[in-house]
Chains A and B, each alone.
Chain A
Amino acid sequence: MARGKAKEGDGNWKKFIWNSEKKEFLGRTGGSWFKILLFYLIFYGCLAGIFIGTIQVMLFTISEFEPKYQDRVAPPGLTLIPQVLKTEISFSISDPQSYGQYVEGLNKFLKNYDSDQQASDMIFDTCADKPDDYIMRGAFNNAQGQKKVCRFKREWLENCSGIADSSYGYRDGKPCVVVKLNRVLGFKPKPPLNESLPAEVMGKYNQYVMPVHCSAKKEEDADKVGPVEYYGMAGYAGFPLQYYPYYGKLLQPKYLQPLLAVQFTNLTYDTEVRVECKLYGENIGYSDKDRFQGRFEVKFDIKSS
């Protein structure tokens, strides 16, 4: 095995890029490049055709009105308005600038709930003023055109509606948040049956309401949170069932999901207070990994000065 391997010269690089003798660029002549590029053009053309074809076929099998699977999106998430960074609401009572963004967020979100937005009877349905059973509006297709949507009055949110108090209580150090249940097509939330619910929730129980309850995250913080006011339809701290199920973007483009405003009227200032709001229901799940599923956590840090 004694073979001295001839070392290839480094000077071949230039020749490789452009070989003037053979008129080769990167080892191929023009004709050769043309042939191989044509081959790849056809090859990738065919592949792309097959790809687009399969995607089209796949899309054919999927309804526009109803998702094929809801493996990940249900059970739905519980979210709050205003949308906050790091789930923290931090402001100073004396400085309107510091809570401006929250007020802005609430204003923007609640605009859809103004009564002038809900004028059209073609789109909106006047549902019962008190919690009621699900309203089924037929199959998930557009055979009967668009589906109607229940009205939801902004006034029901009372102190947190922003009508009387345009700062949603932030000016007084009594911040409001609006709670909503994420839209999931065809999802019918089931109110809880079991008796193991917290006493506060049981107190205002209604069979057509999905109850929401906010309390201190940690037991020892309970007194820091103080009283919590809930403003919802007919004074119920929850979501009435007649707004469900949701029929999707195409059938209910103006869908208004039921809201619940929560106001913390006596939060301890100058300290971090962690509050957890939880939705109770039979088909509501919670997850350690997804902390917005069926509940959420928010941290208040209000500076008194």
Chain B
Amino acid sequence: LSDPQCRRALSRLVLRLNTPLCALSYVVGLGWFLALAFPPLAPRTYMSENAMGSTMVEEQFLFGERALSYAREFAGHKKKAGGMPVAWLEKTMWKLGLEVHRQPFARTLPFPDEARERYMVKGTNVYGILRAPRAASTEALVLSVPCSEGHHNNQAVGLMLALASYFRGQIYWAKDIIFLVTEHDLLGTEAWLEAYHDVNVTEVRSSGTLGRAGAIQAAVSLELSSDVVTSFDVAVEGLNGQLPNLDLLNLFHAFCQKNGLLCTIQGKLQRSDWDSLPAYAHSLQTLLLMVLAQGSGHPRGHHGLFLRYRIEAVTLRGINSFRQYKYDMTTVGKTLEGMFRKLNNLLERLHQSYFFYLLPSLSRFVSIGLYMPAFGFLILVLVLK
């Protein structure tokens, strides 16, 4: 290219074939992207982190009934308090043996909100810390549950409290576990995260967190609205399209398979036939939904806000649709117990698996090395122009 004659020849070639070359690379880019949903191009997921692999434990969670009763109590108190029943939550968590703290926060909204007060949103987060019995409190895991209006997410709080009471009785925790109930959806989660890490990214005024538990290694955000669950949906896209480490998804998938739960992604079921055309269209649709969700920048669950602080997080949603086979709270609790137990074995942050990927289905992924060339071809059009 440094030879001027060659350069001239090359540039003349490019100018001559400009339009066909542009069209070709556009088509190639688009075709490559659409082909990503094919099974050979999308390898199966696998657990990369050595500390989380090899074996599973027998989960022993049996407090399904307790979860239901906690949920009913919570619903009653929420209706009575007209918002979040802070005092009841504090008392219950304290009775379970956790270290309870509350965090009031307030935020002035840039635009007025019709339902609530005009410019100011006030709320309280309540969180309880389960200290690891024999380890120094240097690392933590978070189970976060949003407290929403009406009848939503009552069951999630119930399950969280039942899990807390079960976890409290075990001695094998090497990290602290923080059980967090947030108010006002994303605002509450963001307020808690900012106060925990002592930063001020958005202008939420809060009292700061009193109890800390060390660096947070992973977080799970749980949303459950009904007593029985027919399927479990996982959401991975976060704020500005950031994604958690693929190992967390692999963990969830492994436990789904172990407990026989029906797990979905983007609300779509897995298909068992891989080579047929409808299956290809299905996985392509899942892929494109994920791209759309990432592109919108809006986090698909509360976990999205954790990702900014490099805390790997996913949101799990229990869905009750009209299906024959229903799973009760004990099975859901067992899955979560298994996940937390595996996360307990972590020694470092999750970094072995992919950070940038696309998911045509729950068990297949496309890494950035494969989908970037498609975009590369599309950008080549601009370069050629």
**Is A bound to B?**
no
